[in-house]
Amino acid sequence: MSTYTQILYHIVFATKNREPVLTKDRRDDLYKYIWGIAQKRDCHLYRIGGIEDHVHLLASLHPSVALADLVKEIKIASVSWIKTEHVFADFGYWQNGYGAFTCSVGSKDRIIEYIKGQEQHHTKESSPEELRRLLSEANIEYEQKYFE
């Protein structure tokens, strides 16, 4: 028998100290680079987006790929690419850790639209507020010190 999976992940990770360094003029280049990493690992990226201080991905992973390994590879490779290509002048590193939330297939289109609308969304909710809300909605306990 073959292996069949349908697990969607909404993944969120931020710049170090949530510095607003991912300038709009080069974000699409970053997204294309990350997309290529996902494709190379036989993962499907449905949508990528974000704002100056964080990135959202909606992805399904190949059954042989561990979530932590994919996020680690994306972060390490993209830091190297950003620095080598001088993509974001003030970029240092990605923040340690990430948020990852499983999603139903039925919510896929809604999450794609949510990721597309990040700039508009963040006129009403800050990045830390957004992450706290996502964690709360998923019933994930967190330490407040990481949001101060």
For residue 46, what is the domain's CATH number?
A: 3.30.70.1290
Tell me if residue 64 falls in helix, strand or coil. coil
Tell me if 10 sits within 8 A of 100, measured CB to CB.
yes
Radius of gyration of the chain (CA): 15
Asked whether residue 148 carries a pLDDT value surpassing 70, the answer given is no
Q: Which domain holds residue 60?
A: 8-122
Is residue 27 in a domain?
Answer: yes
Is residue 129 in a domain?
Answer: no
Instruction: State how many domains the chain has.
Output: 1
Is residue 69 in a domain?
Answer: yes
Name the residue among 35, 38, 42 with its Cα closest to residue 5: 42
Task: Report pLDDT digits (tens) over 80-91.
Answer: 999 999 999 999
Asked whether residue 146 carries a pLDDT value surpassing 90, the answer given is no
Task: Point out which residues pair with 10 in neighbouring strands.
Answer: 58, 101
pTM for this entry: 0.94
Tell me what pLDDT residue 143 has: 86
Asked whether residue 145 carries a pLDDT value surpassing 90, the answer given is no
Side-chain-facing half-sphere of 34: CA atoms under 13 Å: 28
Asked whether residue 118 carries a pLDDT value surpassing 90, the answer given is yes
Q: What is the mean pLDDT of the chain?
A: 95
Is residue 116 in a domain?
Answer: yes
Mean pLDDT value of segment 43-63 = 97
Is residue 71 in a domain?
Answer: yes
CA–CA distance, 21 with 14 (Å, rounded to integer):
10
Tell me if residue 13 falls in helix, strand or coil. strand
